[in-house]
Amino acid sequence: MANFIQESDYEVQARDEMMRLLDKTENRAAILQAERFAISQIRKYIGGRYDCTTIFSATGDDRDDYIIMITIDITIYHLWAKKAPKSIPEHRKERYSDALDWLTNVGSGEIPTDLPQLPTDEYIGDIRLHSRYKSNDNKY
């Protein structure tokens, strides 16, 4: 899981100088920590329905491109939020919001995706029971 995002993956979404601005350490410590936070956040949104262990243990071309993209979006947003929370670029806010919207919809089953699902015996469903009457009405 620690190597799910490769350094070269950032080239598509962020310039090197921007990444150096967000993380001035030699060993990329802040970026790696933000990646862990992003992966944890994604797990919280879709982990009840999809096999996140399989998703994040994939390497190379076996990784899902969209998950790579939103992981990077969330990572960069967290880096900006730490560095300069009042000056996060608008497009970064939008990409972060889009990622969370997609994760919410996929996690609830509203949007289908080709991610590996959990086996049915491990599935944590989202069943909600509602009543027309408030619980204190004593109507059945």
pLDDT means per 10 residues, the chain with 140 residues, are 79 80 80 92 94 93 94 92 86 94 93 88 59 61
Query: Domain extents for the chain?
Result: 7-137
Rounded to whole angstroms, how far apart are CA atoms 111 and 108? 8
131: left (phi over 0), alpha (psi -120 to 50) or beta: beta
CA 40 – CA 20 distance, rounded (Å) = 23
d(CA 122, CA 48): 8
The pLDDT score that the predictor gives to residue 67 is 96
Looking at residue 51, what is its pLDDT? Answer: 93
| pLDDT of res. 41 | 96
pLDDT number for residue 127: 61
pLDDT of residue 1: 44
Burial of 87 per CB tally in 10 Å (0-12, 13-18, 19+): exposed
pTM for the full predicted model: 0.79
Rounded Cα distance between 45 and 36, Å, is 14
Alpha-helix residue ranges (DSSP H) falling in the chain? 16-22, 29-46, 52-57, 65-83, 90-108
Question: Measured on CA atoms in the order 41, 46, 48, 50, is the torsion positive or negative?
Answer: negative
